[in-house]
Amino acid sequence: FPGRSREFTVDFDAKAIGLAFDELRILSDDHEFPELRVPLRANYLGEPKVRVTPNPIDFGYVAQGRQGLKNVQVANVGTGVAPVTVESIEFSDPATQDFAFAEAFVGPRTLAPLTTDTTALIPLELRYTPRSTAKHTMELVVKTSAGEVRVPMLGNAETPPKLVFNPTAIDLGDVPLGTTNLATLTLSNEGGAALNVALKWGGANPNTDLFTTPIVVPAIAGGSFVEVQVGFTAT
């Protein structure tokens, strides 16, 4: 009716990075202007996405009064060319005495996507200096133009990791040519903090017929264990 209006929404679903053009035609029974044309224009830059590495930030076991260090990176791993502005980086509890920045972040800082600029990174050095014999938790809060990112931080000054392995010696016996013998080695962490283990063959000329599965052992949480297959294939 005369003097009234109606609203409607036009959506834009980007299919590719860059400019998009179109035209909206409004047809009516208006005798003077039966067709109105409204130009449409959009520029899709992509979607920014902030990633903090590592996530979570685990300092593992650090004795009371000692200091642990972690290098952390903040990057834009979004699509296209859409930048993101990092406004602030802080701890969820600014009054913490157990966690600290080596250097405070000074913002804001705009990051291009890593696909367009591999140097667009914010490096951080975080320090964990436990003031008490306990397990400590915190969050690293990264506030950006694309929203807020919270990364868990963990530190343990209560119970160190403790490795127990079984058996204490492995005898794979006689192995005929072309066959393989296996034995299971169990690595247990009887401590509280995560245990980091690396496997390495000893001796000046280790035998290349020996192998382990897996080659890389993941961190073993307190109270848990990992089984490693130690094998020998006679070649």
Paired with 95 in beta bridges are none
Q: Provide the whole-model pTM.
A: 0.64
Residue whose tokens read 């014999």: 133
Residues 224 and 191: beta-carbon distance below 8 Å: no
- Band (13; pLDDT cuts 50, 70, 90): confident
How far apart CA 63 and CA 98 sit, in angstroms, is 12
What is the percent of the chain with per-residue pLDDT over 90, rounded to a whole number?
Answer: 71
Q: Does the structure show a pLDDT above 90 at 181?
A: yes
Q: Does the structure show a pLDDT above 90 at 214?
A: yes
Paired with 119 in beta bridges are none
